[in-house]
Amino acid sequence: MPDTSSHPAVVIDNGSGFTKVGFAGSAGPQDTFQTAIGRRLRAGGNSVLDDLNFVTGTQDDMSDVSTTHKIQFPVKNGIIDDWNSMEELWQTCIYDKLRCNPEDHHFLLTEPPLNTPENREQTAEIMFETFNIPGMCISVQAILALATSWTNDNAYGRQLTGTVIDSVTVQLTLFLLQMGM
């Protein structure tokens, strides 16, 4: 097993609109790009190389290839629903954007508040089996936002408390209250 103690954790925040990637301890993400995969349109049969004919990138990149590629969005309403495209997006994050060996880093991935255990399992399965990572943590974005406010100055004798308002969760809660649930 490789020594991961000297390598910072990889942080990947896959949102419905944008994906942010970087390393733990950095001031901000190393790269931000649209959570979309463009697959080349092909007249004819499938070949083994078709799996390699995809692009990811900024919104400008996606609009540039919209006539030659079919644009797919693997995350809808915060939940992954196209696992093959998501795996390709993670490949892009790890190998192209961060240029790192996944076996040398632990991973922190974000999830929406209402993510299902099955989606969490599928995420872990892909990360461990496909990328052979040594360890990972999956956490809700709002919890991580609260944790970033914690400093060593207030770590002694005080508990981490706070309120994070996630607009999607608030909208769903209001809807459920209106429905009498």
118 belongs to a structural domain = yes
Look at residue 161 in the predicted model and tell me its pLDDT: 72
* Contact (Cβ atoms closer than 8 angstroms) between residue 12 and residue 89: no
169 belongs to a structural domain = no
150 belongs to a structural domain = no
* Helix then strand then coil, % of the chain, to nearest 5: 35, 25, 40
Please give the average pLDDT of every successive group of 10 residues along the chain, which has 181 residues. 76 90 91 83 52 56 58 85 91 92 96 90 96 95 79 61 66 56 51
Instruction: Tell me the CATH number at 55.
Output: 3.30.420.40
3-state SS assignment for residue 18 = strand
Q: What CA–CA distance (Å, rounded) separates 175 from 84?
A: 32
72 belongs to a structural domain = yes
Domain that holds residue 36: 10-140
> How many structural domains compose the chain?
1
120 belongs to a structural domain = yes
Look at residue 151 in the predicted model and tell me its pLDDT: 63
Look at residue 164 in the predicted model and tell me its pLDDT: 74
69 belongs to a structural domain = yes
DSSP string covering 126-162, please? HHHHHS--S-EEEEEHHHHHHHTT--GGG-SS-----
59 belongs to a structural domain = yes
Which ranges of the chain would DSSP assign to H, the alpha helix?
59-64, 83-91, 117-130, 141-147, 167-178
Look at residue 50 in the predicted model and tell me its pLDDT: 47
Look at residue 48 in the predicted model and tell me its pLDDT: 45
Chain-centre distance of CA 82, in angstroms? 13
